[in-house]
Structure 1
Amino acid sequence: MLKQLQWLILKDLKIDWRTKYPAAGILLYITSLIITSYLAFTGFIEAETWNALFWLILLFISINAVAKSFAQEDDRSSYYFYLIRPSQIIVAKLLYYGVYQLVLITLALLVFSLFLGFPVKTTGPFLLNLVVGSLGLSSAFTMVSSISSKTNNNAVMMAILGFPVIIPILLLSISNSKILVLGGSIADISTNLITLLSVNVIIIALSFILFPFTWKS
């Protein structure tokens, strides 16, 4: 099982390495938005605005980096999926794109902080909420991508299915980070953070339940 997971993860890594345009586009968008924000606010930005812009970047990264997880699988590689159990495929996708998104988010946070500062008062809880929210978005878009890839209009189905799934993740994550940016403690977001973790678990569980059916279709 571990060898098959390793093979699936390496396959996605090689595909992304060969087609560097999506990653380059994401990095270009991040840099352009940050520099534009820096010029628009002349180097000064309020904490609430900083928080909103950063989560806007995070959402864009999730859509463009993770939403393609199943859409990029073409007919030539589809036959590999008949040699491996569906549970291993979805685990590999969740692991790979979860790490992939965290790497991009780390780069975005570094560049964002370089140009627009880092006004977060409680860093540790903020980073914890960031990781949990990012993994929630990654899991949600991976699940939605696995379903929409089997339809004739992948982009439309991604929007229809993805919107109601990511809304609770965004509401909880942004609310938590706003409290922490303004100086709140982890006790102030404990209820929302537990709820966010529960939503993540539900999404991952749904991925395991639904994916075998879409895989066989």
Structure 2
Amino acid sequence: MVQRIIQLIQKDLIVDWRQQNPISGILLYLASTIFATYMAFKGFVSVEVWNALFWIILLFTSINAISKSFIQEERRSHYYFFLCKPSEIILAKLIYSFVYLFCIAIISLVIYAILMGNPLLNYSAFILNLVLGCLGLSSAFTMVSSIAFRTSNRSIMMAILGFPVIIPVLILAISNSFKILDGYLLMQIQGNIITLLSVDVIIIALTFVLFPFTWKS
């Protein structure tokens, strides 16, 4: 099982490396969005605005990055029926999507901090919250992508199904990061961090429950 999951992750990595247009497009979208934000605000924003803009940019970047998860599998789906279990496929997708989005988030944070200023003091707490936020966003959009993959209007279904799922993740992640920027210690927001982790676990569990039905439907 572990070997097949690793092979599926390697396959996604090779496909993305060979088809460099999606990666280039996401990086261009990310850089242009941050630069447009910088030009609009001239780099002088409050901590509240800095935090809100960062998560808005990350949200829309994650939609573009993760929405393609299952679109590229359209011609391979029947082939997978004879090779892998649905649980192996979705676990590989979840791992790859999380790592992919977290790398994008780090790149975004670096560029954003250079252009918009860096109010971060507690890096460890902010990165922990960022990890949990990326885990929730990547899991939610992977689950929604697997469902929308079977419909004719994929982009519409992504928006309709994804919005209610990511709301609790966004509320908790934005609230936590604002408190961290405001000087809160990790122990002071421990409850919110555990809640965000619980929401991530629920989304991942739902993904494992729903995916076998949508994959072979």
Question: Could you say whether these structures have the same fold, taking a TM-score greater than 0.5 normalized by the shorter chain as the test?
Answer: yes
Q: Deviations over 1:34-69 (max 9, x none)?
A: 222222322322111111111011101210111211
Specify every segment of 5 or more residues in structure 2 that has no aligned partner in the other structure, as ranges: none
Aligned equivalent of 1:172: 172
Q: Give the match's secondary structure for 2:72.
A: coil
Alpha-carbon RMSD across the aligned residues, in angstroms, is 1.3
1:112 corresponds to which residue?
Answer: 112
Q: Structure 2 length normalisation: TM-score?
A: 0.95
TM-score computed with the length of structure 1 as normaliser? 0.95
Look up the match of 2:131. 131
Gaps of 5+ in 1: none
State the distance in 1 between where 2:43 and 2:145 align.
38
Match of residue 58 from structure 1? 58
The letter of the residue matching 1:151 is T
| TM-fit CA distance, 1:188 | 2.8
SS of 1:84 mapped into structure 2: coil
3-state SS, counterpart of residue 68 of structure 1: coil
Deviation at 1:120, TM superposition (A): 1.9
Counterparts of 1:8-157 in structure 2, within 5 Å, are: 8-75=8-75, 77-82=76-81, 83-157=83-157
Aligned counterparts of 1:80 and 1:98: Cα–Cα separation in 2 = 25
Q: CA deviation at 1:121?
A: 2.9
In 2: Cα distance, 1:204 partner to 1:132 partner: 12
Give 1:181's aligned residue. Answer: 181
The percentage of aligned residue pairs carrying the same residue is 56
Q: Alpha-carbon deviations, 1:105-137, whole Å to 9, x = none? A: 111111111111210232211111011011110
Q: Please say if residues 48 and 178 of structure 1, whose CA atoms lie closer than 8 Å, have aligned partners that are also in contact.
A: yes
d(CA) in 2 for partners of 1:8 and 1:157?
A: 26
| Equivalent-residue separation in structure 1 for 2:142 and 2:39 (angstroms) | 35
- How far residue 160 of structure 1 moved from its aligned partner, in angstroms, is 1.1
- Ranges of 4+ aligned residues in structure 1 off by more than 3 Å: none
Give the conservation status (yes or no) of the 8 Å contact 2:102–2:134.
yes
Cα distance, 1:148 vs structure 2: 1.1
CA distance in 1, matches of 2:43, 2:132: 29
Equivalent position of 1:206 in the other structure: 206
Q: Which residue in the other structure is 1:194 paired with?
A: 194
